[in-house]
Structure formats: structure tokens, C-alpha cells
Structure 1
Amino acid sequence: MIKKNIVVLGGSGFVGRRLITHLAALGHSVSLLSRNLAAHPDRLLPPGVMLHRVDVHDAAQLRAAIAGNDVVINLVGILNESGDDGSGFRKVHVTLTGNVIAACEMTGVRRLLQMSSLNAGRGESHYLKSRGEAEAAVKASSLDWTILEPSVIFGPGDGLFCRFAALLKTLPVMPLACADTKFAPVHLDDVVAAFIKCLDDPRTIGEVYELYGPEVYTLREIVKMTARQLGLFRVVVPLPDFIGRVQGLACDFIPGKPFSSDNFRSLQTDSVGGIDGLHRLGITPGHVSRLLPDILGHAEDKQARLARYRAMR
């Protein structure tokens, strides 16, 4: 394995935090770009990771930060925008990706690994449409690109099982929009392994990899499974689509958007794959049914520590 100089955008996110740790452990030199240095205390950065203050939406700053490196990994993505017109998604997914491509081409950085999403370009949501537009830009570039399309990602602190776990602890009845939408959750470590495999294998250049797990669940099954694992009895009430739309519209105005109109539109499309990218990369996927106890146990440990801290205040 050749040690590389790697720029990571979106390295503070769920996948990014785990990925930069693994890249540094493998001996790569990792540059993490961020507008907010306070969000990355040095004590939380693994050895070998350098933090640079860069506004990634500023083309000149981005170009200067990318110059002289071997690889760019773009993990930047959002699940919601401030409004509901698609402009926020286009800024983050399409415009930024275009700036990354231009910066790479202008500075001679050939290799780009692009995080996308399963179903990118399919479906009616602004999220999926913008992911598809970003992929089209990457494919049209002159770079040595690889695109990775994960289904919903699970792991310690995830936005799926751990998020539902927090809700289930407070809600005896769970109203659920799009309860029959299907998912093939992929484990965080498998996504990280896929990036590392692509980094080292030139045969992955020009390829798109769908990353999904071996087990398919409906959203209703995911919620019920989470409740069982927590030892809770909860009533799941599937909502008709017209009520789900109203729920999304109402949540559009709640700070933090626990749900949104665009989430509802995304959930009209099952998040299951067709061509197993993990198998193509030689990665044996983790199973939700085997790993969930440890994941929710990890979440419980965090909640217990938080409760103890609050009690001491």
C-alpha cells in the first residue's frame, strides 16, 4: 500500500469520523477541511490528521487546500435543507461537488472518491435528485473517480436505530409515515472498508458501488426491532400517505427537522440495492440482527453517562 496525501471534505460526519481514523492508522496523511475549527478539538483528532480552516464553498480556498494532494474524498451531504425548494441540497450536493471537480482538475489531483446515496437520481425528493446531479457531474469529469452509494448506514450513534431508540423511550405510541418502505441497512465499518478498498485498487476507477446490507427490513420492522431490543412494548401506528405528507409539512417548521416533506418524498422509494457493491469489493457485510445489541448497548451507555453527569451538576 502506497501512503497518500488525502483531503477529506465532510470528515466531521458519521462516516467521516470513522474513516479519517482508519486512514491515519494506515499511515496516510489526512487533511480535514472545516470552516469551524472549534468543532474539532485537537484532542479528538487522531494522530496523522491535520485540520485546516477552509470554507469549502469558496472555490479559491478549496483549490488552494486541494493542491499538492493525491486524493480527494468528498463525504459532504445533508438530509434536510432550511426550506423546501431544493436550493439547499443543490448548494451542498451539486455546486460543491462541481467546485471539488474543478479544483481537482485545475490542480492536477486525479483521484476522487465521492460519497453519494443509493437511489441517487431516482425518486422525487430534492435530496435524491441533487445526489443524482452530483453523480452526473463526477462521471462527466476527467478525473479518476469512484462513486459509493450506501443505503441507510447503521452503527454506534447512527441516525436510524439510535434515533428511534431515543424516541421510543419517550413515546408509548409511535406514529410512522411510510411504514412499509424497505431498507437494506449497511454497517458503518463496511462503508469505511469500501472507501479504503477503492483508495488502493485502481480497478475501482470509473465504477459505482451500491453499498447495502444482507438483510431487508421495512421501516415498521426497524422500529419494532429497536423496541424489542430495548425491552419496550410500543404500539406502532402506520400513517396513511396523506397524513404522512401533513406530518412532513408540519415538521418542516420544527427546528432541527426531525422529519420533513423531502424525507417523506425520499421514503417513497425503497432503499435496497440491485448490484452488491460490497461483494464486488470483497467485503463481507455485517448483519443488523447480530450487531444491533452492541449498537443499542453503546447508545444506552452514553445515555447512562449523560444521566450521571446531570445528576452531579
Structure 2
Amino acid sequence: MAKHTVCILGGSGFIGTTIAGRLGHDGHRVIVPTRHRERSRHLLPIPNVELVETNVHDEDALVEAIQDCTAVINLVGILNELSGPKGEGFRQSHVELPRKVVSACQRAGVGRYLHMSALGAGPEAPSLYQQTKGEGEQLVLAAQSESLSVTAFRPSVVFGSGDSFFNRFAGLLRLSPGFMFLPTPGAEFQPVWVNDVASAFIRCLDDSSTAGQALDLVGPQRYTLEELVRYTAKVAGIRRHIVPLSDSMSRLNARLLGLVPGKPFTMDNYLSATVPNVSDDNALPRLGIHPTAVEAVVPTFLGPHEKNNRYQSLRREARR
């Protein structure tokens, strides 16, 4: 594999940190733009990673940040809007930013752009999250040309040490007073391991056959949300009575929690959950990646000895 200089937007997040770590340890130069350098200091121990303070929503600043890059990876996305007019935050992150990134790549002469979309994204999807993700995906794929090779990735929920899915539910279960109400218990997911997602991005840096495509990334097995939450409780050793909510109660739950600071569950989240987050067209095997099962990883960071296992889990995710 040729050595790259890769700019990762959203590089300090859960998935970005994994990709940056893999690339940096493999000898590639990694540039991570950030507004707040201090919030991204956990990346500094990774070899060949550079933090650059900049506003990624400023296209001229983007052009400067990616000037010497051979590839750009955009992982920026939000699950909820915490403030502002409805839909504005989603559009800024999922549509307007990708538009600026494509333009910046074209201006800076960057030849490869890898874009994070989402499973279920599309203009006809029920939620604003999915609609704007779909619009952004279509926008970047339309920019595919001889000078700019574009690939989009559509993962299901991504799991691993430090994720915001299994860890979040484990935290909610621990805080629950003996029971926990669970909205949308029948929502379907096909969780994919963060290191498999990172492998897909890295392999596609030099794989021109994926240009112009949107690749679904999913794990080997499908689950309902209720099954995943019960599994979380079992692995973490938390005894709680889980109360599945009906569709009408799930809607009410979303309306109420959408008013709580931090918006732990919103109507847009509810609408997203009405679309099965699964796929029959998994791109991982085509990329030479064997999808990793939830059961092979989650016990390493949620089990009763998770503190002792955390180091081994991190080593595993770094393939070290």
C-alpha cells in the first residue's frame, strides 16, 4: 500500500480515532483538523498524527488544511440537533459540509475522498437525520470524476471499546431504578465492529474499483434493540427489568425526552428506528474483511472484568 497523507474530518471521534491510529501506526501521515486542540489531545501519542486548529466549515481553511493530502476522509455527523431551527444542524453537518469538502478537494487537487454516510440514508427516509445523510451521500457521489475518486460508506450501528451504543445502554441500565423503559424495542440493527469499519476505509484508499459506490457495512448477525439491550445487561452483570414500550408509548417517550437537556431520545430518533438498520448487501466480505460478531468483542469492554480487559481490547482494535 502506498504511503498517504490523509486528512480526517471528525478524526477525534470514536471511529476517527480508530482510523487515525491504524493509519498512523502504519506509517501514513494523518492530519486531524479541530477547533479545540485540547479536546483532541488523546490523538497526540499516535505516531504521524498532526492536530491542526481550524474551522472545517470554512472552505478556504479546508483547502489550506488538505493542500498536501492524497486523500480526505469525512466522518462528521450528528445524531441529534441540540439547538437552532429544526433541520439546520443536520443540513450543516450532513449536506453543507460535504459540499464544501468536495469543493475543497477539487480546489486543492486531492484525488481521493471517502465519505461517511449511514445505513437507511435517503431522500424518502422518515427522519431528518436519514434524509440529510442521504442528500449528502448523493451530493458527494455526483462529484465522482477522473480527478476526484469518491466512495461512500453506510454502516449500521458501530460498536467497540468506547462506543456510544453498548456503553450508553450499560450506563442507562446502571442508573435505572430496578427497571428500564425501552422505546422502539423491535427496531432492527446489524452492528458492525469499529475496526472492521476502519479496515474498509483504509483498504478503499487504494481501491479504485469502489469509486462512485456507496458500500453497506454491517456485522454478521441481525438483532432487535431489545435483544441488544438484554445482551448488554447480561454481559455487564446488571440485573434490571426491561419494559418494552408499545409504538404509541415510544412516540410519547420520544416527545418527552426530546424536551430534556441533552435530548437522549427524540422524535427524529424514533423515526429513524422505524427503518430496519440492516442490509443484505454487506461490502465487508468483498473487501476481504470477515465481519466480526458482537459476542466476540463486547465482553472485552463490558464484562465483569472490563477494567482488566480494556487494554487487551484496545490492542485488538489497533490490530497490535
* TM-score, normalised relative to structure 2: 0.90
For the Cα contact (< 8 Å) 2:235–2:304, is it kept in 1?
A: no
Query: 1:146 is aligned with what amino acid?
Result: T
Give the one of 161, 169, 173 matched to 1:164.
169
For the Cα contact (< 8 Å) 1:156–1:298, is it kept in 2?
A: no
Query: 1:90 is aligned with what amino acid?
Result: R
CA–CA distance in structure 1, aligned partners of residues 132 and 305 of structure 2: 32
> For structure 2, which runs of at least 5 residues remain unmatched after alignment?
311-320
Does residue 1:265 correspond to 2:275, yes or no? no
Structure 1 residue 200 displacement after superposition? 2.3
Percent identity of the aligned residues? 43
Give the SS at the match of 2:46. Answer: coil
Give the SS at the match of 2:205. Answer: helix
Deviations 1:104-142 (A, max 9, x none): 111211210001111111521110001000011111113
CA–CA distance in structure 1, aligned partners of residues 44 and 70 of structure 2: 25
Change (3 A) 1:298 1:40: farther
Matching of residues 190-201 of structure 1 within 5 Å: 190-201=196-207
Structure 1 residue 45 displacement after superposition? 3.9
For the Cα contact (< 8 Å) 1:184–1:214, is it kept in 2?
A: yes
- Which residue in the other structure is 2:53 paired with? 53
For the Cα contact (< 8 Å) 2:299–2:306, is it kept in 1?
A: no
Please, which moves more after superposition, 40-49 or 64-73? 40-49
Does residue 1:18 correspond to 2:18, yes or no? yes
- Which residue in the other structure is 2:68 paired with? 68
Change (3 A) 1:43 1:268: closer
Structure 1 residue 232 displacement after superposition? 2.8
Matching of residues 141-152 of structure 1 within 5 Å: 141=143, 142=145, 143-152=148-157
Change (3 A) 1:217 1:42: closer
Give the SS at the match of 1:40. Answer: helix
Matching of residues 1-313 of structure 1 within 5 Å: 1-41=1-41, 44-83=44-83, 85-121=86-122, 123-141=125-143, 142=145, 143-171=148-176, 172-297=178-303, 300-301=306-307
CA–CA distance in structure 1, aligned partners of residues 297 and 2 of structure 2: 32
Change (3 A) 1:40 1:218: same
CA–CA distance in structure 2, aligned partners of residues 298 and 107 of structure 1: 50
Query: 2:15 is aligned with what amino acid?
Result: V
Q: What's the C-alpha RMSD, in Å, of the aligned pairs?
A: 1.8
Aligned length: 303
Structure 1 residue 86 displacement after superposition? 1.3
Structure 1 residue 43 displacement after superposition? 6.8
CA–CA distance in structure 2, aligned partners of residues 51 and 133 of structure 1: 29
CA–CA distance in structure 1, aligned partners of residues 238 and 97 of structure 2: 43
- Which residue in the other structure is 2:317 paired with? none
* TM-score, normalised relative to structure 1: 0.92
For the Cα contact (< 8 Å) 1:6–1:73, is it kept in 2?
A: yes
Structure 1 residue 38 displacement after superposition? 1.4
Deviations 1:59-90 (A, max 9, x none): 11111112221100001111111247211100
